[in-house]
Amino acid sequence: MNIFSTKFINMITLFITIIIFLLINFSINKIQGENQIENPEQNINLDIISKNEEQKENPEEEKNQEEENWYVEIKSISLKAPIEETTEMEVLEKSVGHFEDTQLTLGNIGLAAHNNGYKNNYFKDLKNVKKGDEILYKYKDFTKRYIVNTIKIIKNTNWSYLENTTDNRITLITCVEGKPDYRICVQAVEKL
């Protein structure tokens, strides 16, 4: 072989080696690039999973926060109870219920709770409230104090005490023990 053909073969070999090297390098970079694209998605998915797990792990913390944002307190009967919307049975089994047709802040706020026979009987001592006792109501950033001025036994069909009013008041209703057709109704007006 002459020198020219040896150089030519060496150049071809070098050229093929460079092409093979570039192809291998390109393939490696492509694979790494795909992994880099996949990894952010995995990180995002892991972040979402992590946040979902945190929410699943802390339902009590969330519930406690809700309870701190909406509750009723009557110190004279050692009551501090969480409030939830509606007066349906599943709500009343765990909280004081808010009558949906009544106000949340200004006007007449209507609340109901069990007083015996259930796991949570928040209004069990409502019968011991006296005129002049103070009721504290908190809903989110709204806080108001009320003074009890009305305590009555009413028929279970009497909804007049839950009608809206021009003044600010709170109305608490529970059953009368042994008298299913009657309710204890405690009303309090805004403390000025």
The DSSP-derived string for the chain is: --HHHHHHHHHHHHHHHHHHHHHHHHHHHHHHHHHHHHHHHHHHHHHHHHHHHHHHH-HHHHHHHHHHHEEEEEGGGTEEEEEEEB--HHHHTTSEEEPTTS-SSSSEEEEE---SSSS--TTTTGGG--TT-EEEEEETTEEEEEEEEEEEEEETT--GGGS--SS-EEEEEEEETTEEEEEEEEEEEE--
**pLDDT, tens digit, 9 for 90 and up, residues 134-167:** 999 999 999 999 999 999 999 999 999 999 999 9
Q: What is the mean pLDDT of the chain?
A: 83
**pLDDT, tens digit, 9 for 90 and up, residues 42-56:** 444 444 444 445 555
